[in-house]
Amino acid sequence: MNIASVRRPIIPPAPPRAPDDMSFFGRLAVIRRNMIATWGQPAYEEEVIKGRFFLRNSFILNQPDAIRHVLLNNYENYTRTPAGIRMLRPVLGDGLLIAEGHSWTFQRRTLAPAFTPRATANLVPHMTAVLDETIAKLDTQTGAPVDLREIMQRMTLEIAGRTMFSFGMDRHGATLRNFIMEYASRLGRPYFLDMLLPVSWPSPMDFARARFRKRWTEFVAMLIAERRAAGKKDGAPPRDLFDLMDAARDPETGKGFSDEQLVDEVATMILAGHETTATALFWALYLLALDPETQEEVASETSGEHLDSMADIDRQKFTRAVIDETMRLYPPAFLVARAAREKDNAAGVEISKGDIIMIAPWLLHRHEKLWDQPNAFIPKRFMSTEAPDRFAYLPFGAGPRVCIGAPFAQAESVLALARLIGAFRVELADQANPVIPLGVVTTQPDHSPMFRITRR
Ligand code: HEM
C-alpha cells in the first residue's frame, strides 16, 4: 500500500529486534518479561518461521492466506494452546474465550445478540456518562502531571462495570483491580513447567491458581447477586449487558446460562474488555502527544460535535483512523496462538498434530512486505480506498472466534479519544524517556509516563 504524506511521519518507540543467536535459555528469560523482544528481524520479513520450542514445532505465520486457513477455513482444527488455557482458565473459567467445541458454539450464538453494533448503541449513554465524569475530574488536574494510563484503566473499568451492571465501580472497583494486579503480576505469567506439561497435569503454580480462582469466582458471584437485588428493587432496571446475558437463550435449544456459567461469562467480558481498551487508549494518547499535528486534526474533527450517540461516533472518521493505526502499531492482543488438533496444510505450510501456530498481530502489522513504512504512525492509511488485507490486520482476530466485543471496543475507544482530545491538549511531561512496549498478556508500556493536559 502506498501512502502519500506531505510531512515526515513519526516513528514511535519499539523494542530492539532480538539478535539471531539468542539461546533457548535467553529466550525463556526474555519471554516472561517481553515476548515481543524475542522476535528478530526475519520475523518481520519472512512469511513463515518454523522453530522448535518445548518439544513441539512452532510456526510464526505472517502469510495472510495461511492465517485465513487457520482462523477461518479450518478453524475447528485449531484450539487454544495448553499454556494459554492453563493461564486463563483460573480467571475466565469455561467462559466464551476459553470454551471449545459444542460449549463454545452454544455460548457464542447465545451471547451474539448482546454484542451486535445495535445492542452496543444502547450502551453508549453509559459510556458518555463515565466520560463526562472523567473529563470533570481531569479538569481539576490541568497543568499538573497526570498518569493517563491509570486514568484510562479506571475509566474503562468503570465503563465495563456500568455497561455490565448499571452500577458504578466506586465500591468494588479497587478490589477488582487488586484481583487483576495480583493475577497478572505472578500467577498469569508462564513458568517453565506451565509450558512443558500437558493441561491435565497440574503444574506447581496451578495450585496457587486454583486458590485464586475460588476467591475470584466468589467475588464475581457477589457482584451478580448485588445486580440481581438492585434489579428486583427497582422493578424496571435499565438495560445493561447483564440484563441481556441473563435473559439470553440459545436460538436453537432455548437453553440459557446456569449461575456458574454466568459467573464465567461476566468475568470474561469484564476482563477481556477493559484492560485491552485501556491499553489501546493509552497508546493512542501517547502517539498523539508525540505527534501534535495529528492531535490537532482529531480536535478539529470533534469540534462542535455532541458525541453522545452511535451515529455521532460513526462520523468521527479520522479519530477512527487514529484508533485503527494505534492498534496496528501497538495491538493490545500482540499474539493469537493455537495448537493443531490434527495434521493440516495451511496454504502450503505442513502442520503436524500438536504443533503451535503463532499469529502475532505485532509482527503482522509491522511486516515489511505487507505495509508501506510499517513502523511509521500514519492514520490516513486507514482512510485510503485500498483497505488492508483482512488477514494482514488483526487487532481483534478473525474468523468465527473474532473478538465478540469489537463493536463495543471500537465505539468506546473512538468516543473516548474524540471526547478527551476535544476537551484537552495532551503533551508528555517527560519527552526524554521513550515508552517501550512489553508483550505480557497485552502490549503494556514499560512505564507509565506522566502527561500534561491543558483545556482547549
Ligand atoms: C481494544 C479492545 C480489544 C481488543 C484489542 C481485543 C482483542 C481480541 C482478540 C485478538 C480476540 C481473538 C483471540 C483469539 O482468536 O485467540 C478477542 C476475543 C475475544 N474478546 Fe476481545 N478485544 C478487545 C475488547 C473486547 C471487549 C470490550 C470484550 C467484551 C465486552 C471482549 C471480549 C472478547 C471475547 C469474549 C473473546 C473470545 C471470543 C471467542 O472466542 O468466541 N473483547 N479479543
Q: Is the ipTM of this complex over 0.95?
A: yes
> What pLDDT is attached to residue 133?
96
Ligand 1 centroid, distance to 427 Cα (angstroms): 30
Strands 56-61 and 356-359: parallel
- Number of domains making up the chain: 1
Going from the Cα of 376 to the center of ligand 1, the distance in angstroms, rounded, reads 26
Which atom, in ligand 1's list, is nearest to the CA of 108?
Answer: 41
Q: What span, in angstroms and rounded, lies between the C-alpha atoms of 320 and 316?
A: 6
Nearest protein CA to atom 3 of ligand 1, as residue: 276
- If you take atom 6 of ligand 1, which residue's CA is the nearest one? 396
Cell numbers 485501556 correspond to 278
Structure confidence at residue 413 (pLDDT): 98
Which residues span the domain enclosing 85?
A: 24-455
Atom of ligand 1 nearest to the CA of 413: 1
Question: Whose Cα sits closest to atom 12 in ligand 1?
Answer: 397
Ligand 1 centroid distance, CA of 265 (Å): 13
Question: Does some domain include residue 2?
Answer: no
Query: Is residue 11 in some structural domain?
Result: no
Which pLDDT does position 6 carry in this prediction? 64
Query: What pLDDT, on a 0 to 100 scale, did the predictor assign at position 69?
Result: 98
Atom index in ligand 1 nearest the CA of residue 276 equals 2
What count of residues does the chain have? Answer: 456
Three-state DSSP at 71 gives helix
Which residue puts its alpha carbon closest to atom 11 of ligand 1? 403
What number of H helices and E strands is found in the chain? 17, 12
Mutate to test the pocket of ligand 1, among 403, 404, 414, 442 (most ligand atoms within 8 A of CB): 403
Q: Which residues of 48-60 are buried (b: 16+ CB within 10 A; e: fewer)?
A: ebeeeeeebbbbb
pLDDT at 235: 53
Q: Which residues make beta-bridge pairs with 337?
A: 358
**CA 396 to ligand 1 centroid distance, Å:** 6
> How far apart are alpha carbons 222 and 220 in whole angstroms?
5
Which residues, judged by CB distance below 6 Å to any ligand atom, belong to the binding site of ligand 1?
96-97, 108, 268-269, 272-273, 276-277, 280, 332-333, 336, 395-397, 401, 403-405, 408-409
Whether 5 maps to a domain, the answer reads no
pLDDT of residue 56: 83
Determine whether the annotation assigns residue 403 to a binding site. Answer: yes
Alpha carbon of 432 to ligand 1 centroid (Å): 34
Query: Which atom in ligand 1 lies closest to the alpha carbon of residue 327?
Result: 5
Is the residue at 10 inside a domain?
no
Distance 398 CA to ligand 1 centre (A): 10
Minimum CA distance residue for ligand 1 atom 31 = 405
State the DSSP H helix or E strand holding residue 79, giving kind and residue range, or none if neither: strand 78-79
Cα 341 to middle of ligand 1, angstroms = 22
Blockwise average pLDDT, block size 10, the chain, 456 residues: 68 92 76 87 96 84 97 96 87 94 94 90 93 96 94 94 85 89 82 77 87 95 90 57 87 90 93 93 98 97 88 96 98 96 96 96 97 97 88 97 96 97 95 92 94 96
420 located within any domain: yes
Closest atom of ligand 1 relative to the 336 alpha carbon: 16
Q: Is residue 297 part of a domain?
A: yes
Cβ–Cβ < 8 Å for 440, 275: no
In a domain, 138, yes or no: yes
Distance 26 CA to ligand 1 centre (A): 31
What does the buried/exposed string (b/e) look like for 180-217 if buried means 16 or more CB atoms within 10 Å of the residue's CB? beebbeebbbbbeebbebebeeebebbeebeebbeebb
Q: Cα torsion at 278, 282, 285, 288 (round to 10°)?
A: -130
Atom of ligand 1 nearest to the CA of 107: 41
What CATH number corresponds to the domain at position 391?
1.10.630.10
Query: Which atom of ligand 1 is the closest one to the Cα of 115?
Result: 30
196 lies in some domain: yes
Handedness of CA 334, 351, 51, 61 (dihedral sign): negative
Query: What is the structure's pLDDT at 400?
Result: 97
